[in-house]
Homo-oligomer: A and B are copies of this chain.
């Protein structure tokens, strides 16, 4: 497949790096200020090198990538809320040209799911977005395989940064501020970790799952989610939990059309008590009991793997 990759952060760059290994060529690649276009396939190693040294991917304008020749547009710009722009517009451009769109950007399917599906219905192209929930973990494809109507609930740890902080607080007896600073030093938490620690990122993923489960009947957005973060969790709360054989995890729950994210007590040895930056999703199925899927929920190559799996499905 010919790929137009929009976004040159960790995920977009990993998609470009791994594309040829999966039998694809990159015909367009754009960051926020530049683009490189080559219908015969760009020299990905040279482009990634230029991005690292010069900070740009090429001499073209970013919008040129949208009109380039491609089969699949990979939307890997940062997640934005509300109108989900510019990501939404990129997907629209692809679908209006009857091309496929594969998303790593959560905004369009968390905030404008009905609009995305409406565009898809009018297009020969399809939209897939496994990478938006749980990095490399095959959560949405498993829901799709079982058919959303046979999944009764999804619960999970869907934010690795918050989980790293809670794990470290519990095992080391350290307080929130201390562990957050450590996580930032390690690169596990971003300089502005707001969306990770206030539950917004996990809630966006819960909303996407709710949209997939209800599909076209009801649209969910972040406004429909009930969200509490981990900023108020104290070391003493974790100690109390520990004395009782339990720990605290930031759990996202999608049950019967409601999306809730908040700190919850879970048994120490329960599957939900994943440690470090790992994520887990528990799917309650109608006929096959509970399925647990755990793995790395974030990271460039991990998320790129989910993007490439989606492209394989197309």
Interface residues of A (CB under 8 A from B): 14, 18, 21-22, 135-138, 141-142, 145-147, 150, 269, 271, 285, 287-296, 299, 301-302, 304-306, 308-309, 312-313
Contacts and interface: CB of A to CB of B under 8 A. Distances in A.
23 contacts: A21-B150, A136-B285, A137-B291, A138-B138, A138-B141, A138-B142, A138-B291, A141-B145, A145-B309, A147-B308, A150-B305, A271-B294, A287-B302, A288-B302, A288-B305, A288-B306, A289-B295, A289-B296, A289-B302, A290-B296, A291-B293, A291-B295, A292-B293
A154 to B, nearest CB: 14
Contacts of A18: 287
A136 B305 contact: no
B147 A312 contact: yes
Contacts of A135: 288
Nearest to A18: B287
A218 B299 CA distance: 34
Contact of A292 (B145, B269, B292): B292
Nearest to A303: B288
B292 A147 contact: no
B312 A145 contact: yes
A145 B313 contact: yes
A265 to B, nearest CB: 18
Given A146-B309, A289-B302, A291-B293, 9 more contacts: A135-B288, A136-B285, A136-B288, A137-B291, A150-B305, A288-B299, A290-B296, A291-B295, A293-B293
